[in-house]
Amino acid sequence: MKITVIGAGNVGATTAQRIADMELANECVLLDIVEGTPQGKALDMWESMPCIGSDCHIVGTNDYKDTKDSDIVVITAGLPRKPGMSRDDLLTKNVAIVKSVTEQVVKYSPNAILIIVSNPLDAMVYTAFKVSGFPTNRVFGMAGVLDTARYRSFIALELGVSTKDIQALVLGGHGDTMVPLPRYTMVGGIPLPELLSQERIDAIVERTRKGGGEIVNLLKTGSAYYATSAAVIEMVESIVKDKKRILPCAAYLTGEYGYNDMFMGVPVKIGKTGVEKVFELTLNDDEKGMLENSANAVRNLMSEIKL
Ligand code: APR
Protein backbone atom coordinates (compact mmCIF):
# COMPACT_ATOMS: atom_id res chain seq x y z
CA MET A 1 0.00 0.00 0.00
CA LYS A 2 1.39 3.34 -1.08
CA ILE A 3 -0.41 6.52 -0.02
CA THR A 4 0.48 10.00 -1.23
CA VAL A 5 -0.59 13.19 0.50
CA ILE A 6 -0.42 16.33 -1.64
CA GLY A 7 0.14 19.49 0.39
CA ALA A 8 2.49 19.38 3.36
CA GLY A 9 0.68 22.10 5.30
CA ASN A 10 -1.34 21.62 8.48
CA VAL A 11 -3.89 19.16 7.10
CA GLY A 12 -1.48 17.28 4.81
CA ALA A 13 1.34 16.85 7.32
CA THR A 14 -1.02 15.79 10.11
CA THR A 15 -2.70 13.30 7.77
CA ALA A 16 0.66 11.83 6.74
CA GLN A 17 1.66 11.57 10.38
CA ARG A 18 -1.52 9.69 11.26
CA ILE A 19 -1.07 7.34 8.28
CA ALA A 20 2.49 6.59 9.36
CA ASP A 21 1.67 6.24 13.06
CA MET A 22 -1.17 3.81 12.30
CA GLU A 23 0.97 1.98 9.72
CA LEU A 24 -1.82 2.26 7.15
CA ALA A 25 0.74 2.11 4.33
CA ASN A 26 4.18 0.66 3.70
CA GLU A 27 5.09 3.90 1.98
CA CYS A 28 3.68 7.37 2.57
CA VAL A 29 4.75 10.18 0.22
CA LEU A 30 4.29 13.81 1.28
CA LEU A 31 4.49 16.28 -1.62
CA ASP A 32 4.36 20.07 -1.64
CA ILE A 33 5.25 22.84 -4.07
CA VAL A 34 7.48 24.51 -1.45
CA GLU A 35 11.03 23.14 -1.47
CA GLY A 36 12.29 21.69 1.78
CA THR A 37 8.96 21.65 3.66
CA PRO A 38 7.79 18.14 2.69
CA GLN A 39 11.34 16.79 2.94
CA GLY A 40 11.86 18.29 6.41
CA LYS A 41 8.48 17.24 7.79
CA ALA A 42 8.76 13.72 6.32
CA LEU A 43 12.26 13.27 7.75
CA ASP A 44 11.09 14.45 11.16
CA MET A 45 8.17 11.99 11.00
CA TRP A 46 10.45 9.17 9.85
CA GLU A 47 12.71 9.85 12.82
CA SER A 48 9.69 9.40 15.10
CA MET A 49 8.98 5.88 13.79
CA PRO A 50 11.34 4.11 16.25
CA CYS A 51 9.40 5.67 19.14
CA ILE A 52 6.02 4.95 17.56
CA GLY A 53 6.95 1.41 16.55
CA SER A 54 5.80 1.75 12.94
CA ASP A 55 7.71 0.76 9.80
CA CYS A 56 5.89 3.05 7.42
CA HIS A 57 8.50 4.57 5.13
CA ILE A 58 7.83 8.31 4.82
CA VAL A 59 9.24 10.30 1.90
CA GLY A 60 9.03 14.07 1.39
CA THR A 61 9.30 15.43 -2.13
CA ASN A 62 8.52 18.16 -4.69
CA ASP A 63 8.62 15.65 -7.57
CA TYR A 64 5.50 13.79 -8.73
CA LYS A 65 7.71 10.93 -9.98
CA ASP A 66 8.02 9.86 -6.35
CA THR A 67 4.24 9.45 -6.14
CA LYS A 68 4.24 6.84 -8.95
CA ASP A 69 1.75 3.99 -8.53
CA SER A 70 0.10 5.29 -5.39
CA ASP A 71 -2.99 3.34 -4.32
CA ILE A 72 -4.57 6.34 -2.59
CA VAL A 73 -3.86 10.05 -3.06
CA VAL A 74 -5.18 12.59 -0.55
CA ILE A 75 -5.25 16.11 -1.98
CA THR A 76 -4.98 18.87 0.64
CA ALA A 77 -3.09 21.42 -1.48
CA GLY A 78 -4.59 24.87 -1.50
CA LEU A 79 -5.21 27.92 0.58
CA PRO A 80 -6.95 27.65 3.95
CA ARG A 81 -9.43 30.23 5.25
CA LYS A 82 -8.55 33.31 7.27
CA PRO A 83 -10.98 35.05 9.67
CA GLY A 84 -13.83 36.71 7.78
CA MET A 85 -13.49 34.37 4.78
CA SER A 86 -15.98 31.71 3.77
CA ARG A 87 -14.80 28.48 2.17
CA ASP A 88 -16.28 29.80 -1.08
CA ASP A 89 -13.85 32.72 -1.11
CA LEU A 90 -11.09 30.20 -1.85
CA LEU A 91 -12.70 29.00 -5.08
CA THR A 92 -10.67 30.57 -7.91
CA LYS A 93 -7.23 30.00 -6.41
CA ASN A 94 -7.96 26.48 -5.22
CA VAL A 95 -9.55 25.39 -8.52
CA ALA A 96 -6.28 26.27 -10.27
CA ILE A 97 -4.23 24.42 -7.64
CA VAL A 98 -6.43 21.30 -7.56
CA LYS A 99 -6.53 21.19 -11.37
CA SER A 100 -2.73 21.25 -11.74
CA VAL A 101 -2.24 18.80 -8.86
CA THR A 102 -4.80 16.35 -10.28
CA GLU A 103 -3.17 16.41 -13.74
CA GLN A 104 0.17 15.41 -12.23
CA VAL A 105 -1.29 12.81 -9.86
CA VAL A 106 -3.21 11.09 -12.66
CA LYS A 107 -0.12 10.96 -14.89
CA TYR A 108 1.81 8.91 -12.33
CA SER A 109 -1.00 7.01 -10.57
CA PRO A 110 -3.73 6.21 -13.10
CA ASN A 111 -5.33 3.63 -10.81
CA ALA A 112 -5.35 5.60 -7.58
CA ILE A 113 -8.34 6.45 -5.42
CA LEU A 114 -8.49 10.24 -4.93
CA ILE A 115 -9.73 11.75 -1.66
CA ILE A 116 -10.13 15.52 -1.93
CA VAL A 117 -9.88 17.74 1.15
CA SER A 118 -9.18 21.20 -0.32
CA ASN A 119 -12.01 23.75 -0.01
CA PRO A 120 -14.59 24.70 -1.11
CA LEU A 121 -14.87 20.95 -0.92
CA ASP A 122 -17.78 19.96 -3.16
CA ALA A 123 -16.51 22.18 -6.00
CA MET A 124 -12.94 20.88 -5.59
CA VAL A 125 -14.07 17.25 -5.83
CA TYR A 126 -15.97 18.10 -9.00
CA THR A 127 -12.81 19.74 -10.39
CA ALA A 128 -10.67 16.68 -9.60
CA PHE A 129 -13.32 14.37 -11.08
CA LYS A 130 -13.53 16.29 -14.36
CA VAL A 131 -9.77 16.73 -14.70
CA SER A 132 -8.88 13.14 -13.77
CA GLY A 133 -11.47 11.39 -15.94
CA PHE A 134 -11.53 8.72 -13.19
CA PRO A 135 -14.68 6.68 -12.53
CA THR A 136 -16.98 8.02 -9.83
CA ASN A 137 -16.06 5.34 -7.28
CA ARG A 138 -12.44 6.56 -7.29
CA VAL A 139 -12.99 10.31 -6.67
CA PHE A 140 -14.71 11.60 -3.54
CA GLY A 141 -14.35 14.22 -0.87
CA MET A 142 -13.87 14.41 2.87
CA ALA A 143 -16.32 16.76 4.58
CA GLY A 144 -19.22 14.86 6.09
CA VAL A 145 -17.03 12.76 8.37
CA LEU A 146 -15.57 15.96 9.84
CA ASP A 147 -18.93 17.73 10.10
CA THR A 148 -20.44 14.65 11.73
CA ALA A 149 -17.49 14.34 14.12
CA ARG A 150 -18.00 17.95 15.22
CA TYR A 151 -21.74 17.38 15.66
CA ARG A 152 -21.12 14.18 17.68
CA SER A 153 -18.49 15.84 19.85
CA PHE A 154 -20.84 18.74 20.71
CA ILE A 155 -23.64 16.30 21.61
CA ALA A 156 -21.24 14.30 23.82
CA LEU A 157 -20.21 17.52 25.57
CA GLU A 158 -23.83 18.58 26.12
CA LEU A 159 -24.94 15.21 27.51
CA GLY A 160 -21.71 14.31 29.31
CA VAL A 161 -21.51 10.94 27.56
CA SER A 162 -18.92 9.07 25.50
CA THR A 163 -18.40 10.33 21.95
CA LYS A 164 -18.25 6.65 20.99
CA ASP A 165 -21.94 6.13 21.69
CA ILE A 166 -23.15 8.85 19.36
CA GLN A 167 -24.12 7.83 15.84
CA ALA A 168 -25.06 10.62 13.49
CA LEU A 169 -25.21 11.89 9.95
CA VAL A 170 -24.68 15.26 8.30
CA LEU A 171 -25.81 15.58 4.67
CA GLY A 172 -25.27 18.20 1.96
CA GLY A 173 -22.50 20.56 0.93
CA HIS A 174 -19.56 21.39 3.19
CA GLY A 175 -20.65 24.90 4.09
CA ASP A 176 -22.93 26.78 6.42
CA THR A 177 -25.91 25.18 4.62
CA MET A 178 -24.92 21.63 5.64
CA VAL A 179 -27.77 19.48 6.96
CA PRO A 180 -27.27 17.71 10.32
CA LEU A 181 -30.11 15.23 10.86
CA PRO A 182 -31.25 15.08 14.54
CA ARG A 183 -33.97 12.58 13.57
CA TYR A 184 -31.26 10.13 12.53
CA THR A 185 -28.99 10.87 15.50
CA MET A 186 -28.73 8.15 18.15
CA VAL A 187 -27.15 8.24 21.60
CA GLY A 188 -26.50 4.65 22.65
CA GLY A 189 -29.48 3.66 20.49
CA ILE A 190 -31.76 6.40 21.92
CA PRO A 191 -32.99 9.00 19.41
CA LEU A 192 -31.51 12.43 20.22
CA PRO A 193 -34.92 14.22 20.42
CA GLU A 194 -35.72 11.96 23.43
CA LEU A 195 -32.75 13.36 25.33
CA LEU A 196 -32.49 17.03 24.39
CA SER A 197 -34.95 19.88 23.91
CA GLN A 198 -35.49 21.27 20.39
CA GLU A 199 -33.84 24.48 21.52
CA ARG A 200 -30.61 22.71 22.57
CA ILE A 201 -30.61 20.58 19.41
CA ASP A 202 -30.98 23.73 17.29
CA ALA A 203 -28.05 25.33 19.11
CA ILE A 204 -25.86 22.26 18.50
CA VAL A 205 -26.86 22.13 14.82
CA GLU A 206 -25.96 25.79 14.45
CA ARG A 207 -22.59 25.32 16.17
CA THR A 208 -21.89 22.36 13.87
CA ARG A 209 -22.67 24.41 10.75
CA LYS A 210 -20.26 27.11 11.91
CA GLY A 211 -17.76 24.65 13.42
CA GLY A 212 -15.02 25.33 10.87
CA GLY A 213 -15.41 29.09 11.27
CA GLU A 214 -15.21 28.79 15.07
CA ILE A 215 -11.73 27.26 14.72
CA VAL A 216 -10.64 29.80 12.06
CA ASN A 217 -11.62 32.66 14.38
CA LEU A 218 -9.63 31.16 17.24
CA LEU A 219 -6.52 30.28 15.20
CA LYS A 220 -6.57 33.50 13.16
CA THR A 221 -3.83 32.26 10.80
CA GLY A 222 -5.39 29.14 9.29
CA SER A 223 -8.13 26.57 9.58
CA ALA A 224 -8.78 23.30 11.41
CA TYR A 225 -6.54 20.29 10.92
CA TYR A 226 -6.57 17.85 13.84
CA ALA A 227 -10.19 16.80 13.36
CA THR A 228 -9.83 17.25 9.59
CA SER A 229 -6.96 14.79 9.35
CA ALA A 230 -8.65 12.35 11.77
CA ALA A 231 -11.69 12.37 9.48
CA VAL A 232 -9.55 11.66 6.40
CA ILE A 233 -8.01 8.73 8.26
CA GLU A 234 -11.41 7.11 8.90
CA MET A 235 -11.92 7.06 5.12
CA VAL A 236 -8.37 5.93 4.31
CA GLU A 237 -8.55 3.12 6.87
CA SER A 238 -11.84 1.87 5.44
CA ILE A 239 -10.24 1.62 1.98
CA VAL A 240 -6.96 0.08 3.15
CA LYS A 241 -8.67 -2.55 5.34
CA ASP A 242 -11.72 -2.89 3.07
CA LYS A 243 -13.83 -2.26 6.16
CA LYS A 244 -17.02 -1.23 4.29
CA ARG A 245 -17.65 1.60 6.74
CA ILE A 246 -20.72 3.72 6.09
CA LEU A 247 -19.47 7.28 6.17
CA PRO A 248 -20.87 10.57 4.93
CA CYS A 249 -18.68 11.61 1.98
CA ALA A 250 -18.96 14.03 -0.93
CA ALA A 251 -19.90 11.48 -3.59
CA TYR A 252 -21.02 11.76 -7.20
CA LEU A 253 -24.80 11.68 -7.49
CA THR A 254 -26.68 10.13 -10.38
CA GLY A 255 -30.27 10.78 -9.35
CA GLU A 256 -29.96 9.92 -5.64
CA TYR A 257 -31.99 12.35 -3.50
CA GLY A 258 -33.10 13.88 -6.83
CA TYR A 259 -29.65 15.25 -7.76
CA ASN A 260 -27.50 14.62 -10.82
CA ASP A 261 -23.97 15.34 -12.01
CA MET A 262 -22.77 16.91 -8.78
CA PHE A 263 -20.88 15.99 -5.61
CA MET A 264 -22.53 16.40 -2.25
CA GLY A 265 -22.33 14.80 1.19
CA VAL A 266 -24.36 11.57 1.42
CA PRO A 267 -23.85 8.29 3.32
CA VAL A 268 -21.71 5.88 1.30
CA LYS A 269 -20.06 2.51 1.77
CA ILE A 270 -16.27 2.79 1.56
CA GLY A 271 -14.18 -0.24 0.72
CA LYS A 272 -11.09 -1.24 -1.22
CA THR A 273 -12.53 0.02 -4.53
CA GLY A 274 -13.57 3.38 -3.06
CA VAL A 275 -17.25 4.34 -3.00
CA GLU A 276 -19.09 1.03 -3.28
CA LYS A 277 -22.65 2.21 -2.65
CA VAL A 278 -24.59 5.42 -2.08
CA PHE A 279 -27.31 5.07 0.54
CA GLU A 280 -30.57 6.94 0.18
CA LEU A 281 -32.79 7.65 3.17
CA THR A 282 -36.26 9.05 3.55
CA LEU A 283 -36.28 12.75 4.33
CA ASN A 284 -39.25 14.78 5.56
CA ASP A 285 -40.23 18.02 3.83
CA ASP A 286 -38.14 20.14 6.18
CA GLU A 287 -35.02 18.06 5.63
CA LYS A 288 -35.62 17.98 1.87
CA GLY A 289 -35.89 21.78 1.88
CA MET A 290 -32.60 22.15 3.75
CA LEU A 291 -30.87 19.73 1.38
CA GLU A 292 -32.20 21.66 -1.61
CA ASN A 293 -30.84 24.87 -0.10
CA SER A 294 -27.45 23.21 0.36
CA ALA A 295 -27.49 21.73 -3.16
CA ASN A 296 -28.23 25.20 -4.58
CA ALA A 297 -25.20 26.62 -2.77
CA VAL A 298 -23.02 23.84 -4.24
CA ARG A 299 -24.48 24.36 -7.74
CA ASN A 300 -23.81 28.12 -7.55
CA LEU A 301 -20.16 27.45 -6.82
CA MET A 302 -19.91 24.78 -9.51
CA SER A 303 -21.18 27.25 -12.07
CA GLU A 304 -18.18 29.47 -11.35
CA ILE A 305 -15.60 26.75 -12.02
CA LYS A 306 -13.60 27.44 -15.16
CA LEU A 307 -11.42 24.49 -16.11
N1 APR B 1 1.02 21.84 -5.25
C2 APR B 1 1.34 21.27 -4.06
N3 APR B 1 1.14 21.89 -2.87
C4 APR B 1 0.61 23.11 -2.90
C5 APR B 1 0.24 23.75 -4.10
C6 APR B 1 0.46 23.05 -5.32
N7 APR B 1 0.13 23.57 -6.49
N8 APR B 1 -0.28 24.97 -3.79
C9 APR B 1 -0.24 25.09 -2.45
N10 APR B 1 0.29 23.96 -1.90
C11 APR B 1 0.57 23.67 -0.51
C12 APR B 1 1.13 24.85 0.26
O13 APR B 1 2.51 25.06 -0.03
C14 APR B 1 0.88 24.43 1.70
O15 APR B 1 1.98 23.74 2.25
O16 APR B 1 -0.62 23.35 0.19
C17 APR B 1 -0.33 23.47 1.59
C18 APR B 1 -1.56 23.99 2.30
O19 APR B 1 -1.26 23.98 3.66
P20 APR B 1 -1.85 25.05 4.71
O21 APR B 1 -1.66 26.41 4.17
O22 APR B 1 -1.30 24.71 6.05
O23 APR B 1 -3.43 24.73 4.66
P24 APR B 1 -4.19 23.53 5.41
O25 APR B 1 -4.68 24.01 6.72
O26 APR B 1 -3.37 22.31 5.33
O27 APR B 1 -5.48 23.38 4.47
C28 APR B 1 -5.37 22.87 3.17
O29 APR B 1 -7.52 21.82 3.25
O30 APR B 1 -9.22 21.86 4.84
C31 APR B 1 -8.75 22.40 3.63
O32 APR B 1 -9.66 24.66 3.60
C33 APR B 1 -8.47 23.89 3.72
O34 APR B 1 -8.23 24.27 1.34
C35 APR B 1 -7.53 24.10 2.56
C36 APR B 1 -6.75 22.78 2.53
What's the pLDDT tens digit per position in 6-17?
A: 999 999 999 999
For the chain, domains (ranges, CATH) are: 2-141 (3.40.50.720), 144-302 (3.90.110.10)
Residue 151 has pLDDT above 90, yes or no: yes
- Among 84-98, 138-152, 213-227, which stretch is predicted with the lowest mean pLDDT? 84-98
Which residue type does 169 have?
L
Q: How does pLDDT run across 179-191, given as a tens digit for each residue?
A: 999 999 999 999 9
Question: Residue 240: what pLDDT?
Answer: 98
Is the beta carbon of 77 within 6 A of some atom in ligand 1? yes
Which residue type does 110 have?
P
Ligand 1 mean position, distance from CA 98 (Å):
10
Question: Residue 87: what pLDDT?
Answer: 87
The phi, psi pair for 61, rounded to 5°, reads -155, 165
What share of the chain has pLDDT > 70, as a percent? 100
SS3 174: coil
Ligand 1 site-directed mutation target among 79, 116, 221, most atoms within 8 Å of CB: 79
Ligand 1 mean position, distance from CA 8 (Å):
7
Ligand 1 mean position, distance from CA 259 (Å):
30
Is the beta carbon of 235 within 6 A of some atom in ligand 1? no
Residues 268, 169 contacting (CB under 8 angstroms): no
Which residue type does 292 have?
E
Per-residue burial over 127-156, b = 16 or more CB atoms within 10 Å of its CB, e = otherwise: bbbebbebeebbbbbbbbbbbbbbbbbbbb
Mean pLDDT confidence for 64-93: 93
For residue 57, indicate whether it is catalytic. Answer: no
Question: Residue 84: what pLDDT?
Answer: 87
Ligand 1 mean position, distance from CA 69 (Å):
22
Predicted TM-score (pTM) of this structure:
0.97
Cα(233)–Cα(230) distance, rounded to whole angstroms? Answer: 5
SS3 76: coil
Is the beta carbon of 225 within 6 A of some atom in ligand 1? yes
Is the beta carbon of 7 within 6 A of some atom in ligand 1? yes
Mean pLDDT confidence for 199-219: 96
Residue 81 has pLDDT above 90, yes or no: no
Which residue in the list 2, 18, 87, 174 is annotated as catalytic? Answer: 174
Measured in whole angstroms, the distance separating CA 113 from the mean position of its chain's CA atoms is: 13
Ligand 1 mean position, distance from CA 7 (Å):
5
Confidence of residue 94 (pLDDT cuts 50, 70, 90): very high
Q: How does pLDDT run across 26-68, given as a tens digit for each residue?
A: 999 999 999 999 999 999 999 999 999 999 999 999 999 999 9
Ligand 1 site-directed mutation target among 18, 29, 31, 34, most atoms within 8 Å of CB: 34
